[in-house]
A and B are shown apart, each in its own frame.
Chain A
Amino acid sequence: NAGVTQTPKFQVLKTGQSMTLQCAQDMNHEYMSWYRQDPGMGLRLIHYSVGAGITDQGEVPNGYNVSRSTTEDFPLRLLSAAPSQTSVYFCASSPTVDRGNQPQHFGDGTRLSIL
Chain B
Amino acid sequence: GNSVTQMEGPVTLSEEAFLTINCTYTATGYPSLFWYVQYPGEGLQLLLKATKADDKGSNKGFEATYRKETTSFHLEKGSVQVSDSAVYFCALSEHGNNRLAFGKGNQVVVIP
Contact = CB atoms under 8 A, between A and B. Distances in A.
B46 A42 contact: no
B73 to A, nearest CB: 14
A48 B97 CA distance: 11
B7 interface: no
Given A90-B44, A100-B32, A106-B43, A43 B51 contact: no
A82 interface: no
A98 to B, nearest CB: 8
B69 interface: no
A4 B44 CA distance: 11
Contacts of B51: 101
Nearest to B50: A101
B98 interface: yes
B50 to A, nearest CB: 10
Interface stretch (B14-22, B60-68, B76-84, B100-108): B100-108
B95 to A, nearest CB: 5
Interface string B25-61: 0000001101010000111111001010000000000
Q: Give the size category of A's interface with B.
A: 20 to 34
A64 to B, nearest CB: 16
A106 B44 contact: yes
B97 A100 contact: yes
B104 A45 contact: no
B100 A40 contact: no
B31 A100 contact: yes
Interface of A: 4, 31, 33, 35, 40-45, 48, 50, 58, 90, 92, 94, 97-104, 106-109
Interface of B: 4, 31-32, 34, 36, 41-46, 49, 51, 89, 93-105
11 contacts: A35-B102, A40-B104, A42-B4, A44-B102, A98-B98, A100-B93, A104-B46, A104-B98, A108-B41, A108-B43, A109-B42
